[in-house]
């Protein structure tokens, strides 16, 4: 019988995929602490970043034990599994797939044997030179079918881990994990916030652009590395600083040491501020909630409208709706009630219930919105189906007017750095003007925040932000289209014997 994956997101229509999150990573070095439970609660705080699979690896100083499965953190782990994970170093991961299918083999942390022991690695982000990395893995020595070069998974993370595990010097002597990292990481292109470990040391690294967040925290008896500061808060760790772009950090019994594998060229993802990160997280010194409220304020100033009530599409649009109401003077209210416990289900709704669609997750407060001119604030529009259904539902509930306001600019370009948008052809903003989109939604008016207004709300300088999904300016040079894609390795594997070297890296026994 299939297991429900319990996905928690704000997709309101069955089958209507919005911007899917990146992954969440967590690592801890803390002798004397229950590191598996700390990691569990850290991942719990990062559950919004990935709900397909979860895993924890723990080292007791002599061996690494990995436990992972498909599903939410709370589904994968219980007291029994956590109690079996004894040690003083742990690495955890909550996954949403951006390269490779959502299958157990692609769940993380990825584990590999090395000449010195073993390595367990978790990755947030997405690499754009996966095909090139696969060719590098295919070229690795494969003496006696060495496990270190077998690739069972079909994701960029497994390829990266294989390269880290199999590096040798000019004389053929195996490199340590730390030495290998300084050789391999400069060859990885794209977004990567990594937390990994061997039997004795916790490691962390962030790509030179710092596209995905990664922070360092201090425990009374150890250290924590996590995707977001909210995960530090839940585990009682004190924020120390961000892991810098292009920085490599190692933590062991001798303390913390930091070095650089590449110069920093900061281009943090602006969509973290719009939607991805938790509102109680700080990124680059800026609180995410305050950024979203400010986006709403600027949106109100850029696109005012006469209305009676501002409501949000719960919950992602709430901070911006509060900001819009504050700047416009229009009251903010709760016009929609969300059922937070409805995820995807293997129980297919009847035709009658399917026709209700969005009501599975949202229900309007009719007495609040009847006869009112509404401003409905959301964070983004991808295909537009959700907003179209929402506008129709509000009108059926008696709304006099429905004005849609979006706290990010039109999404026109795909992301190759850890957000799984719809394809470019599916993005509604590519084929229609804003006026045409508004008409398609059935709204009385539609307006997006300007690119400049959104950026100013983050307080981060424009050159230090990746805005590629909005303006098409990618911070890392992309390979040819045929060497990109979520199912790149599966596609090449399916191509059979004539497939290029990347597929050979996957097929290798």
Q: Catalytic amino acids?
A: 23
Euclidean distance between CA atoms 394 and 335, whole angstroms:
9
Calculate the alpha carbon distances from 275 to 19, 191, 412, 417 in Å. Answer: 9, 18, 16, 15
Q: Contact, 284 vs 294, CB < 8 A?
A: no
CB atoms within 10 A of CB 179: 14
Question: What does DSSP say about strands 193-197 and 117-124: parallel, antiparallel, or unpaired?
Answer: antiparallel
CA angle 203/205/211 to nearest 5° reads: 150
Of 15, 5, 195, 19, the residue nearest 98 (C-alpha)? 19
Euclidean distance between CA atoms 474 and 415, whole angstroms:
9
Of 310, 301, 324, 330, the residue nearest 453 (C-alpha)? 301
Of 93, 43, 52, the residue nearest 197 (C-alpha)? 93
Of 153, 204, 199, the residue nearest 176 (C-alpha)? 199
Of 232, 222, 319, the residue nearest 282 (C-alpha)? 232
What is the H or E stretch that residue 491 is in?
helix 488-494
Rounded-to-5 percentages of helix, strand, coil across the chain? 35, 25, 40
Task: Check the CA dihedral 80-84-86-90 and report its sign.
Answer: negative
Burial class (CB in 10 A: 0-12, 13-18, 19+), 392: middle
Euclidean distance between CA atoms 391 and 376, whole angstroms:
9
Calculate the alpha carbon distances from 195 to 28, 240, 243, 503 in Å. Answer: 9, 17, 11, 27
Of 296, 347, 343, 243, the residue nearest 449 (C-alpha)? 296
- Would you call 308 helix, strand, or coil by DSSP? coil
HSE value, Cβ hemisphere, 13 Å, CA-based, for 298: 22
- Would you call 99 helix, strand, or coil by DSSP? coil
Euclidean distance between CA atoms 336 and 445, whole angstroms:
20
**DSSP of 33-75:** S-HHHHHHHHHHHTGGG--SEEEEEEE-SS-EEEEEEES-HHH
Euclidean distance between CA atoms 269 and 468, whole angstroms:
9
């Amino acid at each position: 019988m299939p297991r429900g994956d319990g996905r928690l997101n704000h997709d309101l229509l069955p089958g209507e995929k919005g911007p899917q999150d990146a992954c969440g990573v967590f690592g801890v070095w803390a002798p004397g602490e229950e590191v598996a439970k700390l990691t569990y609660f850290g991942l719990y705080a990062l559950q919004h970043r990935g709900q397909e699979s979860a895993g924890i690896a723990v080292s007791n100083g002599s061996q690494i034990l990995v436990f992972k499965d498909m599903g939410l953190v709370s589904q994968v782990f219980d007291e029994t599994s956590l109690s079996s994970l004894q040690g003083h170093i742990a690495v955890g991961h909550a996954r949403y797939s951006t390269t490779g299918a959502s299958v157990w083999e692609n769940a993380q942390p990825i584990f590999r044997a090395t000449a010195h022991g073993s390595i367990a690695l978790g990755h947030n982000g997405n690499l754009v030179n996966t095909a090139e990395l696969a060719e590098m893995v295919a070229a690795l020595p494969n003496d006696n079918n060495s496990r270190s070069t077998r690739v069972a998974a079909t994701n960029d993370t497994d390829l990266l881990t294989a390269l880290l595990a199999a590096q040798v010097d000019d004389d053929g002597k195996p490199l340590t994990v730390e030495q290998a990292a300084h050789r391999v990481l400069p060859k990885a292109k794209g977004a990567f916030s990594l937390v990994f470990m061997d039997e004795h040391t916790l490691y962390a690294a962030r790509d030179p652009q710092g596209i995905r967040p990664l922070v360092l925290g201090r425990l009374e008896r150890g250290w924590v590395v996590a995707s977001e500061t909210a995960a530090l808060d839940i585990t009682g760790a004190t924020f120390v600083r961000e892991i810098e772009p292009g920085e490599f950090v190692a933590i062991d019994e001798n303390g913390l040491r930091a070095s650089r594998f590449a110069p920093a060229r900061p281009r943090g993802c602006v969509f973290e501020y719009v939607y991805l990160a938790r509102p109680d997280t700080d990124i680059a010194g800026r609180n995410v909630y305050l950024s979203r409220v400010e986006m709403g304020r600027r949106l109100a100033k850029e696109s005012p409208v006469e209305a009676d009530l501002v409501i949000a599409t719960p919950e992602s649009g709430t901070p911006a709706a509060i900001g819009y109401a504050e700047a416009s003077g229009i009251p903010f209210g709760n016009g929609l009630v969300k059922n937070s416990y409805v995820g995807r289900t293997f129980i297919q709704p009847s035709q009658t219930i399917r026709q209700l669609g969005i009501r599975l997750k949202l229900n309007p407060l009719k007495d609040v919105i009847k006869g009112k001119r509404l401003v409905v604030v959301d964070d983004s529009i991808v295909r537009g189906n959700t907003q179209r259904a929402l506008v129709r539902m509000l009108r059926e509930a008696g709304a006099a007017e429905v004005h849609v306001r979006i706290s990010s600019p039109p999404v026109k370009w795909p992301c190759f750095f850890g957000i799984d948008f719809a394809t470019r052809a599916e993005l509604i903003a590519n084929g229609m003007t804003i006026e045409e989109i508004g008409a398609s939604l059935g709204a009385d008016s539609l307006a997006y925040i300007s690119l400049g207004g959104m950026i100013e709300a983050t307080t981060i300088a424009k050159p230090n932000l990746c805005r590629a999904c909005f303006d098409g300016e990618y911070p890392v040079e992309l390979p040819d289209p045929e060497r990109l894609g979520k199912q790149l390795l599966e596609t090449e594997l399916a191509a059979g014997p004539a497939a290029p070297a990347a597929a050979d890296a996957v097929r290798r026994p």
